[in-house]
Amino acid sequence: MKPPPFTYSVPTTVADAVALLVEHAEEEPRVLAGGQSLVPLMNFRLAQPGHLVDLRRVTGLDTLRLDGDHLVVGAMVRQATAERSPEVALAAPLLAEALGHVAHPPVRHSGTVVGSIAHADPAAELPAVALALDAEMTVVGPQGERRIPAGEFFLGPFTTALAPEEILTEVRLPRFPGGHAFVEFARTHGNFAVVGVAALVAVEDGRVSRAAVAASGVAPTPVRLAAAEEALVGMTGDDTAVEAAVDAATAGLDPAGDVHASAATRTDIARVCLREGIGRALRRAEDRR
Amino acid sequence: MTAVERPAPPPVRTHKEDRRWVGKSIRKVEDPKFLRGRGGYVADLVRPGTLHAAVLRSPMPHARILSIETAAAEAAPGVHLVVTGAQAAELTGPLPDFGPDPTKHTWRCLAVDKVRYVGEGVAVVVADDRYLAEDALQLIEVEYDPLPPVTDPEAALRPGAALLHEALESNCAYDRQFTFGDVARDFAEADVVVRDRLRWHRSGGQPLETVGAIADFDPATEKLTVHTNSLSFTSYMFMAAGALGIPMNKFDVHQVPAGGSFGSKLFVTKPTVIAGMCSRILGRPVVYLEDRVDNMSNCDHHGSDRVYDVELAVMRDGTLRSITIDTIDDYGAYIQFGVGHHGNALAQVTGPYTIGSVQYRVRAALTNKNQQGAYRGFGSEVNNWMLEQVVDKAARELGMDAAEIRRRNFIPPEAFPYFIPSGNVYDSGDYATVLEKALELGEYDRWRAEQARLREEGRYIGIGLISAQERSVFSATEFWFWFDEPNAPVTSSPESVTLGVDATGTITATLYSCAFWGNSPETMVAQLVAEEFDCDPHSVSIIYHGLSGGLPATGPGGSRTTVMLAGAVEGASAKIKAKARRAAAHLMEVDPEDLEWAEGGFQVRGVPDQRKGLDEIAAMLHMFKHSFPEDLESGLEESKVYDHPYTTMPAPDRSDLGVFYPFMGNACHVPVVEVDVATGEVRILAYAAVHDCGTLVNPRSLAGHIVGGTAQGIGTALYEEFVYDDEGQLVTSSFLDYSIPTAMEVPELRIGHVETPSPYTPHGIKGGGEGGRMMAPAALNAAVNDALAPLGVRVTELPMTPDRLRAAIREAGAAPGRG
C-alpha cells in the first residue's frame, strides 16, 4: 500500500497550477487538496498520477465568504473549518449538517469541501449537498474561468465535467430560504454511507413553495429527486404528503447492490432517509416562518 | 454402554485466603511503555540499511501458474532480489502444518504451481524500501490459466467440484462422526426434537500492527536472528527452522509485542520464512511487514465459517437430553491447525447443561479462500452460539422462559468435577449464581416491562439472555485426538519462568514465550511474584528471553497464559524459598524447619524479631559463598518448567476424548437491543456481562478482556465478515468495506464477576482472555430474535447485517415501517 513514483509541485497561484497541469499533461496529473480520498487511492495504486499539483500554497483558495446570496467556498477550505464557520451556519446550514457525517474529525481537519465535491464519490455527502443547493462550480483552466452548474457537473462515479487541465477553484452555494436536513445511514459511525439524503423545503402560507431533494448512494452519481420535489410543492407538508414524496422519489430509483446492501435494502433504507430528511426539513421550514 | 473409566483428577488444592496482591486491580505494569510509544513494535525496530520485502498477491482465486516473468522487476531501481514461488520451494520446505494430511494439501510460503485464493503470494521482491519493492511488483508478469472458483463449502464437497488440491482427490480434508453416550436412546425417549440450520460466516481478528518479521542472517556464524510479533515460541519454533532448513541451534527468535492479535498472530511463521529466506540469500537484514491488504487477504488467520444442522432432544418439562451436531466448516485453501477448532467446541459442547449424550460430525471443506487460523474463541464461540440458539428455539417451542429452561438444565454446583459426554472435565462452577447476577445487573425484569411498553409505540426491543462456557488452558491432545493414528501425538504444552533475586534483594522474572498479546503477562507475573514474596508488584522487573537458550514454553493461546505462568511462578518461588530457608537457617544457626516465611523473609516460628529478610539472605548467597555449606551454590535464581496440570489421554476408539480443557469458566450476557425494522439496523441499548473465571488476579485487566472480547463479539454479530463473492474475489479486503465496530457502536458494559475457584490451579485461577467474544454473538442473536419475534422472524445467520435483517423481515411479509 505505497503509491507508485510521482513528481510533485507546490504552486502559489491558480495560473501556475493550471500551467503545471498543462506542462505535465502526459503524466496524468492530479490536483491535491486535502488528500483524504486521493492519497488512499494512490496507496492502493487505484490512482497512479505521475504528477501532483498541491494547492495548499495557492493564495486565496482558503477563503470562505459570503457574496450576496451565495456562500463561496474556496478549494482549500478544510471541512472542519466549514463545519464550525458562522457563515456556513447562516448561509448553508445544510452543508454544516452534512459535514458532521463526513468520516471522523481527524479526516475533516485535512479534507476539503471542494476536494470532496471534485472527487465525486457517488456515496459521499458533499456532492449531494452541492446538487441539492444548485451550486455553481467555478472552474479555471487554460482558457480561463467558467462556471458549471452542479446539475451538469457529476457525470459518473469519480467522473465530473472538469477537463484534465482544469481546477475547481471554488464552489458557490446559493442561500436556500427554508428548512434543511441531511440524513444518512451508515453501517458504522464515520464510515461511508449506504444512502444519504439532502433535503431543502420552503413553506409559504402553509404550503410548500419550493423543494430540493438529492440523494447519494442510490446511483452512479448523486441524484436530484425531481419527482419528490414535484410531489411536495403545493402540499401542506403533512405525513401523507411526505409519504407521497417518498413514494415518488423511490419509484424512480434503481440502485445497484453491493456488499453493504442489496438493491432492495438500499431502496428500503432510502425510503427511511427520505422520510426523515424531508420531514425534518419541513419542520425546520415551518419553524423559520 | 459401559461407564468410561477415567484417571482420578489431580489432588484438590487448598488456596491461600489472605491474598495480598492476587485479586487487586493494580495499575498494569506494561502500560507506561505502550502509552509512551515505547512498546517496540516491528515497525519501530527496523534499522537503517534493512531491506524491505513485498509480496505479489494473486488476483485470481483459483488458477494454474503458467509462467512468471521477473526480469523487468529484477532490473528495477533499488531491487536486490526477486524470488518466485517455484524458486522459494527450492529454498524452503513446507510451512508448519498440523492438518490432517500435510503432504496432500501442502502449504508453502509462496504458491508454486497454482494459486488457491485471492491474495496468495506468488513472488517476493526485496528492495531498498517498500515503495520500490511495490513498484517492482507491478513489473512482474504472471500468466494464469483460470480454474473454476470454489467458494461455497457445501458445493465444495459435492462430486464434480473443482479440486483445490488434486493429491487429496477431494475438497473434504476431514470427515468424522463421534458419538458420546447413548444418543439413539436419548432421542427415542425424547418428547420433542428441535431442529435448526445455522450459518456463521467468517470474520477475523484485526490487529493494529499487522504480522511481520525482521530477519538478519549472519554469514559468518550462519545464524539467523528474527524479530517477529508471531506468538508461540520456543517449544514449536523448530518447525519454522525446519521450513528454512536452518539448524535449530542457529535460529534465534526475539519476541515483539503483538500490537493486537486476538489469536490472529498465533504461530505465524510465513513472514519469518519469507524474510529469513531473503536475508539468507542477501546476507543483509530484511523486513517483511504485511500491509493491511496483505493481512486481510493473506494472514492465514480467518475465523470459523460454519454451516450447522442440529437436532436437540428435549423433554416436555424442558429437560435437554441429547444433541446431534452436523457441521461443515469452510477452512479455505489450507488447513494448518487441522480441525482443532472443533476440539474447542467439544471441550464445552454441551454448555453448562446436563445434556447426557452427543453426536458430533465435522467435515472440513477446502475452498478458494484464505485459510482459517485462530480468532478469540478458536471455534468454541461458534459452538456456544449454536447451542444457545437451539436452546432458545426449544424454549420457544415449549413455551418456556429463556431463563427457566437454562436453570432447569444447569449442572449443579455439587456435581463438580463434572465430566461431559465428550470426556472433557469441568473443574468447578456455579452457573445459577452467574445467571441470577446477570439478570439483576441487566435489569432483566425492568427491560421486559419496557419492551412491552415500547412495543405499543411500534418499537422492536429485544432482550438477549445466554449462559455459556468459557474453557481455558488447552492441552496438546486436542490437535491430534481426531486421528486413530496421529502423526505426532504430542502431550507437552509447558510454560516456564525463571526468578532471580539479586544481591540487593530485588526480583527479576524471566519469561520465555509471549512478549505481550493482551493478557498483560508482566502484570500477572508481577502480582503473582509479589504475592509470593510480599513485595510491591511494581518493584518486580520482567524480561523476555528469546528462543536461543530459552526454557520450554508454548506461548499464549486458549486462555492459558495466566494459569500456566502462575504455576511456573509458584514452582520457581518454592525453589527460591527452599534455598533461602536453608541459607537463613544456617545464618541464624537454627533448624530450617523452625523457620516460617513472613513479611518478605524467614523468621523463627513465632519470634518475629529473629529473622532474615530476603534481601539479607540474597546478599549473603551472592557475595559470601564461604559462609555457607559447600553444596549451597552462589546466587539465588531458580526456574520452573510448568507442565499442563490436568490432561488425560483419549480412549483408543475416541468414544471419550479425555481431559483436554479442564478449567472451565462460565458467563451470562444480557444485551438489550432495538431493531429498526425499516432499515435493519440494530442498536444496543444496554449490555450486562457477568463472568466467572475462577479466582481473579486483576479485576480491571479482566474487565478489559471482557470489554474487548465483547466488542469483537459485537463485530461478529453485526458488522464483520470476510465476503468472497461467487467469483472468489475478496470484496472486503480493507477497512473501507470490512466494517468493524467503533467506540460509537460499542456500549458501556455493566460487568459483574463471580469467583468459583478451580480446585486444580494456583490460587484457583482460570483463564479469561476470550470470554467476551465467546458470549456476545450468541447473546446479540438472542436479543435480535427476541425483538423480531412479534414479526415471526428468527435470524439464523451471522453477522446480522441490515441487508440480512431486511431480507428476513421482507420475507416474513412485514411492511417496511410506514411513517
**Alpha helix ranges (H) inside B410-515:** 431-441, 444-456
Is B67 exposed, middle or buried, given 0-12, 13-18 or 19+ CB atoms closer than 10 A? exposed
Contact between residue A177 and residue A90 where contact means Cβ atoms under 8 Å apart: no
pLDDT per residue as tens digits for the range A119-166? 999 999 999 999 999 999 999 999 999 999 999 999 999 999 999 999
Cβ within 8 Å of residue B498, ≥6 positions away: B509, B510, B545, B551, B572, B637, B638, B639
- pLDDT number for residue B1: 43
Contact between residue A156 and residue A163 where contact means Cβ atoms under 8 Å apart: no
Distance between A265 CA and the closest CA of chain B, angstroms? 6
Closest residue to A1, CB basis, from B293, B719, B802: B293
CA atoms A85, A86, A87, A88: torsion sign: positive
Q: Does A261 touch chain B (CB under 8 A)?
A: yes
Cell of B195: 431442529
- Give the C-alpha distances (Å, rounded to integers) separating B289 from B227, B375, B813: 11, 20, 50
Order of strands across the sheet with A64-67?
A64-67, A70-74, A167-174, A136-141, A144-149
* pLDDT of B2 strictly over 50: no
CA atoms B37, B40, B43, B47: torsion sign: positive
Closest residue to B745, CB basis, from A188, A260, A268: A188
- pLDDT number for residue B4: 67
Q: Which residue of B has its CA nearest to A270?
A: B679
* pLDDT of B818 strictly over 70: no
Q: Which residue of B has its CA nearest to A4?
A: B135
CATH number for the domain formed by residue range(s) B31-38+494-642? 3.30.365.10
pLDDT band at B234 (very low <50, low <70, confident <90, very high): confident
Determine the residue type at A122.
P
In a domain, A1, yes or no: no
pLDDT per residue as tens digits for the range B10-50? 999 999 999 999 999 999 999 999 999 999 999 999 999 99
Supply the CATH number for residue A31's domain.
3.30.43.10
pLDDT per residue as tens digits for the range B426-468? 999 999 999 999 999 999 999 999 999 999 999 999 999 999 9
pLDDT band at A241 (very low <50, low <70, confident <90, very high): very high
Distance between B43 CA and the closest CA of chain A, angstroms? 15
CATH fit for domain B46-147+211-289, picks 3.40.47.10, 3.90.1170.50, 1.20.1530.20, 3.40.50.1860: 3.90.1170.50
Q: Which residues of A touch B135 (CB under 8 A)?
A: 4-5
Chain B contact residues (CB < 8 Å to A): 130-131, 134-135, 138, 291-293, 676, 678-681, 719, 723, 731-732, 734, 736-737, 739-742, 744-745, 801-803, 806-807, 810, 816-819
- pLDDT number for residue B412: 98
- pLDDT number for residue B243: 97
Nearest to B304 by CA among B674, B777, B793: B777
Listing DSSP states for chain A in one string gives --PPP-EEE--SSHHHHHHHHHHTGGG--EEESS-TTHHHHHHTTS---SEEEE-TT-TTTT-EEEETTEEEEETT-BHHHHHT-HHHHHH-HHHHHHHTTSS-HHHHHH-BHHHHHHHT-TT-HHHHHHHHTT-EEEEEETTEEEEEEGGGTEEETTEES--TT-EEEEEEEE---SEEEEEEEESSTTSPEEEEEEEEEEEETTEEEEEEEEEESSSSS-EE-HHHHHHHTTS---HHHHHHHHHHHHHT--PPP-SS--HHHHHHHHHHHHHHHHHHHHHHHHHH-
* B807 contacts A264? CB cut-off 8 A: yes
Cell of B87: 524458486
Cell of B612: 532474615
pLDDT per residue as tens digits for the range B199-216? 999 999 999 999 999 999
**H or E element: which one contains B425?**
strand B425-426
In a domain, A48, yes or no: yes
Contact between residue B769 and residue B780 where contact means Cβ atoms under 8 Å apart: no
Percent of chain B with pLDDT over 90: 95
* B138 contacts A188? CB cut-off 8 A: no
- pLDDT number for residue B302: 98
- pLDDT number for residue B389: 98
Nearest to B819 by CA among A279, A208, A249: A279
pLDDT per residue as tens digits for the range B265-308? 999 999 999 999 999 999 999 999 999 999 999 999 999 999 99
- pLDDT number for residue B3: 58
* B736 contacts A192? CB cut-off 8 A: yes
Nearest to B540 by CA among B520, B565, B515, B523: B523
How far, in Å, CA of B6 to CA of B648, rounded?
8
Cis preceding linkage at B799, omega within 30? yes
Q: Does A256 touch chain B (CB under 8 A)?
A: no
Contact between residue B502 and residue B543 where contact means Cβ atoms under 8 Å apart: no
* B135 contacts A243? CB cut-off 8 A: no
Q: Which long-range contacts (CB under 8 A, 24 or more apart) does B191-194 make?
A: B191/B314, B191/B315, B191/B316, B192/B313, B192/B314, B192/B315, B192/B316, B192/B394, B192/B397, B192/B398, B193/B311, B193/B312, B193/B313, B193/B314, B194/B311, B194/B312, B194/B314, B194/B390, B194/B393, B194/B394, B194/B397
Order of strands across the sheet with B63-69?
B114-115, B63-69, B141-146
Cell of A212: 430540493
pLDDT per residue as tens digits for the range A94-120? 999 999 999 999 999 999 999 999 999
Q: Does A5 touch chain B (CB under 8 A)?
A: yes
Start and end residues for every CATH 3.90.1170.50 domain found in chain B: 46-147+211-289
In a domain, A100, yes or no: yes
pLDDT per residue as tens digits for the range B376-417? 999 999 999 999 999 999 999 999 999 999 999 999 999 999
How far, in Å, CA of B113 to CA of B85, rounded?
8
Mean pLDDT of chain A: 97
Listing DSSP states for A16-80 in one string gives HHHHHHHHTGGG--EEESS-TTHHHHHHTTS---SEEEE-TT-TTTT-EEEETTEEEEETT-BHH
pLDDT band at B374 (very low <50, low <70, confident <90, very high): very high
Determine the residue type at B60.
M
CATH number for the domain formed by residue range(s) B306-477+651-811? 3.30.365.10
pLDDT per residue as tens digits for the range A26-55? 999 999 999 999 999 999 999 999 999 999
Which of these three, A121, A147, A174, is where a domain ends? A174
Q: Does A2 touch chain B (CB under 8 A)?
A: yes
Percent of chain B with pLDDT over 70: 99
- For cell 508454548, the residue is B554
Q: Which residue of A has its CA nearest to B718?
A: A187
Residue of A43, A107, A265, A278 to mutate, interface with B, max B Cβ within 10 Å: A265
Nearest to B513 by CA among B210, B256, B259: B256
Task: Note whether A214 and A236 are same-domain residues.
Answer: yes
How far, in Å, CA of B95 to CA of B340, rounded?
17
Q: Does A243 touch chain B (CB under 8 A)?
A: yes
How far, in Å, CA of A55 to CA of A32, rounded?
6
* B135 contacts A5? CB cut-off 8 A: yes
Which neighbouring-strand residues pair with B255? B228
Q: Does A192 touch chain B (CB under 8 A)?
A: yes
- pLDDT number for residue B514: 75
Residue of A184, A269, A280, A282 to mutate, interface with B, max B Cβ within 10 Å: A269
Q: Which residues of A touch B802 (CB under 8 A)?
A: 185, 187, 194, 260-261, 265, 269
Q: Which residues of A touch B816 (CB under 8 A)?
A: 268, 271-272
Task: Note whether A108 and A126 are same-domain residues.
Answer: yes
Task: Note whether A142 and A213 are same-domain residues.
Answer: no
Cell of A143: 482558457
Task: Note whether A186 and A167 are same-domain residues.
Answer: no
Q: Does A268 touch chain B (CB under 8 A)?
A: yes
Query: Alpha carbon B653 to chain centroid distance?
Result: 28
pLDDT per residue as tens digits for the range B148-186? 999 999 999 999 999 999 999 999 999 999 999 999 999
Closest residue to B134, CB basis, from A2, A262, A264: A2
Task: Note whether A169 and A183 are same-domain residues.
Answer: no
* pLDDT of A225 strictly over 50: yes
Contact between residue B323 and residue B389 where contact means Cβ atoms under 8 Å apart: no
DSSP state of B353: B
Cβ within 8 Å of residue B130, ≥6 positions away: A2, B52, B54
pLDDT per residue as tens digits for the range B551-575? 999 999 999 999 999 999 999 999 9
Closest residue to A272, CB basis, from B678, B719, B731: B678
- Direct distance between the N- and C-terminal alpha carbons of chain B, in angstroms, rounded to an integer: 62
Cis preceding linkage at B650, omega within 30? no
Is residue B781 helix, strand or coil? helix
Domain that holds residue A88: 64-174
Q: How many domains does chain A have?
A: 3
pLDDT per residue as tens digits for the range B49-94? 999 999 999 999 999 999 999 999 999 999 999 999 999 999 999 9
Supply the CATH number for residue A206's domain.
3.30.390.50
- pLDDT number for residue B814: 60
Contact between residue B429 and residue B410 where contact means Cβ atoms under 8 Å apart: no
Q: Angle at Cα B673 formed by Cα B667 and Cα B677, nearest 5°?
A: 145
* A239 contacts B745? CB cut-off 8 A: no
Distance between B817 CA and the closest CA of chain A, angstroms? 9
Which of these three, A147, A174, A201, is where a domain ends? A174
How far, in Å, CA of A205 to CA of A175, rounded?
20
Contact between residue B343 and residue B422 where contact means Cβ atoms under 8 Å apart: no
CA atoms A65, A68, A69, A72: torsion sign: negative
Task: Note whether A76 and A103 are same-domain residues.
Answer: yes
Sort residue B267 into left (φ over 0), alpha (ψ -120 to 50) or beta: left
- Direct distance between the N- and C-terminal alpha carbons of chain A, in angstroms, rounded to an integer: 53
* Mean pLDDT computed over B615-632: 97
How far, in Å, CA of B320 to CA of B410, rounded?
10
* pLDDT of B233 strictly over 90: no
In a domain, A81, yes or no: yes
Mean pLDDT of chain B: 96
pLDDT per residue as tens digits for the range B468-480? 999 999 999 999 9
Start and end residues for every CATH 3.30.365.10 domain found in chain B: 31-38+494-642, 306-477+651-811
Task: Note whether A113 and A208 are same-domain residues.
Answer: no
pLDDT band at B483 (very low <50, low <70, confident <90, very high): very high
Q: Which residue of A has its CA nearest to B293?
A: A1
Contact between residue B286 and residue B53 where contact means Cβ atoms under 8 Å apart: yes
pLDDT band at B518 (very low <50, low <70, confident <90, very high): confident
* pLDDT of B816 strictly over 50: no
Task: Note whether A120 and A193 are same-domain residues.
Answer: no
Does the structure's ipTM exceed the value 0.90? Answer: yes
How far, in Å, CA of B260 to CA of B238, rounded?
24
pLDDT per residue as tens digits for the range B674-708? 999 999 999 999 999 999 999 999 999 999 999 99
Residue of B716, B803, B806 to mutate, interface with A, max A Cβ within 10 Å: B803
Task: Note whether A42 and A75 are same-domain residues.
Answer: no
